[in-house]
């Protein structure tokens, strides 16, 4: 069990830039949580506290029974996998399969498990046909899947993904959706940072909204996207479906396409 417990954590970068204030969050095992908010709101800093890449300058971050300040980033990476926003910060092998194999090898899995989990991760990320390629010959969106595969192959309890939908086409979004379903079945905790409100609404049980270095809302999608005050402060826009529902005069709470379609069908097929 790897519950994440953050208490009154703050963070100031060495140059004095204040990036986070008073972050308090409990993330139980198996939760799927999206962090949303404007560029510069502190999302990536918050995520980096969760995996120990950054240590809080105040308060505490605890991963299972480990305090992040007492462990090295390498130790913490066994519990929390992190997919960077920019895949090029993360890729350093010249063959996709080598890149993906690196993590599980380092985890000390036996050879069979390394091979098995490497293949599994590559297939799940839809990059099997590129296994022998140099990652840098692949387009950005595929390089992102190389880094996702590398992280899930480590089989850590918690997986953090920074902007996984950026630059993905429809096929890429479908692969991501499937991947999240598989991770859910395996009971993994998945935390994502995203600007894609449709993605957040479709796949995450809990939405944390950040603005100006703080959490300003924490709940289900409907608790967030129908709150004008929160939208205003965070400068976010609700998913397109909410806008369409409003145009048609449906009440609050509609967020999924299927809900909207049902409401319209009811109204227009009965008449």
For the window 115-144, what string marks contact with other proteins as x by the rule CB under 8 A?
----------------------x-xxxx--
Contact residue for other proteins among 67, 93, 119, 257 (CB under 8 A): 257
Sheet strands (E) in 156-262: 158-162, 189-193, 206-211, 214-219
Give the binding range for other proteins (CB under 8 A) out of 62-70, 111-119, 178-186, 257-265.
257-265
- For other proteins, the closer of residues 107 and 246 by Cβ is 246
Count CB atoms within 10 A of the CB of residue 216.
Answer: 17
Does residue number 270 form part of the binding site for other proteins (CB under 8 A)?
A: no
| Separation CA 152–CA 104 (nearest Å) | 9
- For other proteins, the closer of residues 109 and 130 by Cβ is 130
Residue identified by tokens 């910060």 is 89
| Separation CA 62–CA 65 (nearest Å) | 7
Count CB atoms within 10 A of the CB of residue 174.
Answer: 12
| Separation CA 147–CA 143 (nearest Å) | 6
Nearest Cα to Cα of residue 196 among 213, 180, 215: 180
Q: Please report, as residue ranges, which positions from 204 to 243 form the binding site for other proteins (by CB under 8 A).
A: 235-237, 239-241, 243
Q: What is the dihedral of CA 44, 19, 34, 215, to 10 degrees?
A: 180
Count CB atoms within 10 A of the CB of residue 104.
Answer: 23
Please state the closest distance from residue 164 (CB atom) to other proteins, in A. 12
- For other proteins, the closer of residues 73 and 141 by Cβ is 141
Contact residue for other proteins among 22, 187, 248, 252 (CB under 8 A): 248
- For other proteins, the closer of residues 75 and 137 by Cβ is 137
Which residues bind to other proteins, rule: CB under 8 A?
Answer: 15, 17, 37-40, 44, 85-86, 88, 137, 139-142, 163, 166-172, 195, 197-198, 235-237, 239-241, 243-244, 247-248, 257, 260-261, 264-265, 268-269
């Amino acid at each position: 069990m790897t519950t994440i417990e953050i208490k009154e954590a703050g963070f100031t970068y060495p140059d004095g830039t204040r990036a986070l204030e008073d972050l308090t969050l409990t993330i139980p095992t198996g939760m799927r949580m999206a962090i949303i908010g404007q560029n510069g709101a502190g999302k990536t800093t918050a995520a980096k506290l969760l995996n120990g890449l950054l240590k809080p300058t105040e308060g505490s971050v605890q991963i299972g029974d480990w305090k992040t300040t007492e462990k090295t980033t390498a130790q913490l990476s066994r519990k929390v996998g992190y997919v960077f926003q920019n895949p090029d910060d993360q890729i350093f092998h010249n063959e996709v399969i080598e890149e993906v194999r690196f993590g599980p090898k380092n985890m000390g899995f036996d050879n069979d498990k390394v091979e098995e989990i490497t293949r599994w991760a590559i297939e799940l990320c839809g990059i099997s046909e590129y296994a022998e390629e140099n990652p840098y010959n692949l387009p950005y969106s595929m390089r992102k899947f190389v880094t996702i595969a590398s992280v899930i192959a480590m089989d850590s309890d918690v997986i953090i993904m920074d902007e996984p939908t950026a630059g993905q086409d429809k096929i890429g979004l479908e692969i991501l959706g499937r991947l999240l379903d598989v991770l859910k079945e395996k009971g993994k905790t998945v935390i994502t940072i995203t600007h894609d409100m449709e993605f957040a609404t479709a796949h995450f049980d809990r939405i944390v909204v950040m603005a100006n270095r703080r959490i300003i809302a924490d709940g289900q999608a409907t608790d967030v996207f129908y709150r004008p005050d929160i939208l205003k402060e965070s400068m976010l826009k609700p998913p397109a479906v909410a806008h369409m529902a409003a145009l048609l005069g449906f009440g609050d709470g509609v967020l999924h396409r299927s809900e909207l379609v049902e409401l319209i069908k009811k109204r227009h097929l009965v008449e």
